Amino acid sequence: MNLKRKLFQIAPVRETARRISLTRRLQRPVKATIEVTNACNSSCIMCPRQHMTRRIGFMELELFKKIIDDCGRCGIRIIQLFNFGEPLIHPELPEMVRYTKAHAGGRVQISTNAALLSEEKAQALLEAGIDRINIDIDGYTRETYEGVRRKLSFDQVVNNTKNLLKLRRKSGKRLFISISIIRMKETEGELKAFRKYWKPLADRVLEVEYNVWLKKVGTKSGLTNGAGSFTCPCKFLWDQLVVLHDGRVPLCCLDYDGQVVVGNMLNETIPQIWNGARLNKIRHFHTNMEMGKIPTCAACNQYIYMEGSQWQYMWGGGLKQSAS
């Protein structure tokens, strides 16, 4: 048994850690996820966008600046400029990065499929001061990739990624570049080759767990990842604030269609939403392990990302099995 697990077997240790962590987390979200657009140039087989019913749109610069100013006032240290959609489609993305660095500071990051990451766009993002770019390349071979990331060209994505790596080297900027692949039936046989190929090139290679997206895409892969259950409250409720392109704040980044809205950045502030009655009521259900009372959470497999974490142990989850 590892030391952390051992330590969290002691009830007062768990209680103290939980109290300190929750007090800190209620002061401000660790991370803000801002959906600059929910438009996308792909149609990936594992993405819940195919079930999205909300309007496709682009965040207005005025609203974006209001959110960033608020992030700066709250001291949020990680700001992600993407959610459901391809962020490079937003024509003002470099300006948004620049504004975020100037008015909120912290770490500014995007996750992209890189199909639109031309040399010009990459240069503009580097100059704007972006800190992290994750590139999703779900496949080592062209055949797998183009079967998963429908509508995109494998060669174009690989070339754009290599160009970005080259530009970063030339510029001397401290941009962190990760390359990710989702572990699913379609990619499973290529994970090793993928890692071997990209590891010497990128700063990090990530193997991401397959998500069933509220049971909307679970049947698409042999790896459904939806058979378990929660052994602790969902960390996301104390971790990140998501803002959709129209200003509404959904429950979390899994709530792709904005089914549970807990606030609106058009007329509220981050502290008002973060400590507001709607979010606190949902947190209360979670701390009582009554997530089944929220249909969105009842369909969620987010627990897969919390297994074996300090957060899980802090709530007493996962300790029994590890003690045996």
| Span near ligand SF4 by CB under 6 A; candidates 2-10, 57-65, 97-105, 233-241 | 233-241
Which burial class, exposed, middle or buried, applies to 321 when counting CB atoms under 10 A from its CB (0-12, 13-18, 19+)?
A: exposed
Nearer to ligand SF4 by Cβ, of 244 and 300: the residue is: 300
CB of 217 to ligand SF4, least distance (A): 14
Q: Does 225 bind ligand SF4 (CB under 6 A)?
A: no
State CA 111 to chain mean position distance: 8
Structure tokens at 63: 């609203």
DSSP reduced 3-state for 50: helix
| Span near ligand SF4 by CB under 6 A; candidates 1-9, 100-108, 137-145, 232-240 | 232-240
- The secondary structure of residue 58, as a DSSP letter, is B
CB of 253 to ligand SF4, least distance (A): 7
Which residue in the block uniquely carries the two structure tokens 């174009």? 156
Angle at 301 between CA 316 and CA 215, to 5 degrees: 155
Q: Does 232 bind ligand SF4 (CB under 6 A)?
A: no
Residues 294-323 touching ligand SF4, rule: CB under 6 A, are 296-297, 300, 302
Enumerate residues 6+ apart whose C-beta is below 8 A from 196.
none
Angle at 153 between CA 150 and CA 155, to 5 degrees: 145
Distance in angstroms (rounded) separating the CA atoms of residues 47 and 280:
29
CB of 183 to ligand SF4, least distance (A): 19
- Write the binding mask 250 to 289 for ligand SF4: x where contact by CB under 6 A, - elsewhere: -xx-xx----------------------------------
The residue from 137, 234, 249, 314 that contacts ligand SF4 (CB under 6 A) is 234
Within 3-92, where are the H helices? 3-7, 11-27, 61-74
User: Would you say 304 and 228 are in contact if contact means Cβ atoms under 8 Å apart?
Assistant: yes
Distance in angstroms (rounded) separating the CA atoms of residues 88 and 105:
21
CB of 150 to ligand SF4, least distance (A): 26
- Write the binding mask 237 to 256 for ligand SF4: x where contact by CB under 6 A, - elsewhere: x-------------xx-xx-
The residue from 194, 236, 238, 311 that contacts ligand SF4 (CB under 6 A) is 236
10: phi then psi, degrees, rounded to nearest 5: -85, 115
- Backbone φ/ψ region at 176: left (φ over 0), alpha (ψ -120 to 50), beta: beta
| Span near ligand SF4 by CB under 6 A; candidates 99-107, 138-146, 165-173, 231-239 | 231-239
| Span near ligand SF4 by CB under 6 A; candidates 17-25, 26-34, 96-104, 234-242 | 234-242
Within 75-141, where are the H helices? 93-103, 119-128
Nearer to ligand SF4 by Cβ, of 117 and 237: the residue is: 237
Nearer to ligand SF4 by Cβ, of 186 and 255: the residue is: 255
Structure tokens at 275: 């400590």
CB of 279 to ligand SF4, least distance (A): 10
Q: Does 36 bind ligand SF4 (CB under 6 A)?
A: no
CB of 261 to ligand SF4, least distance (A): 13
Number of Cβ atoms within 10 Å of the Cβ of 16: 12
CB of 46 to ligand SF4, least distance (A): 17
Task: Using CB under 6 A, list all residues that contact ligand SF4.
Answer: 234, 236-237, 251-252, 254-255, 291, 296-297, 300, 302
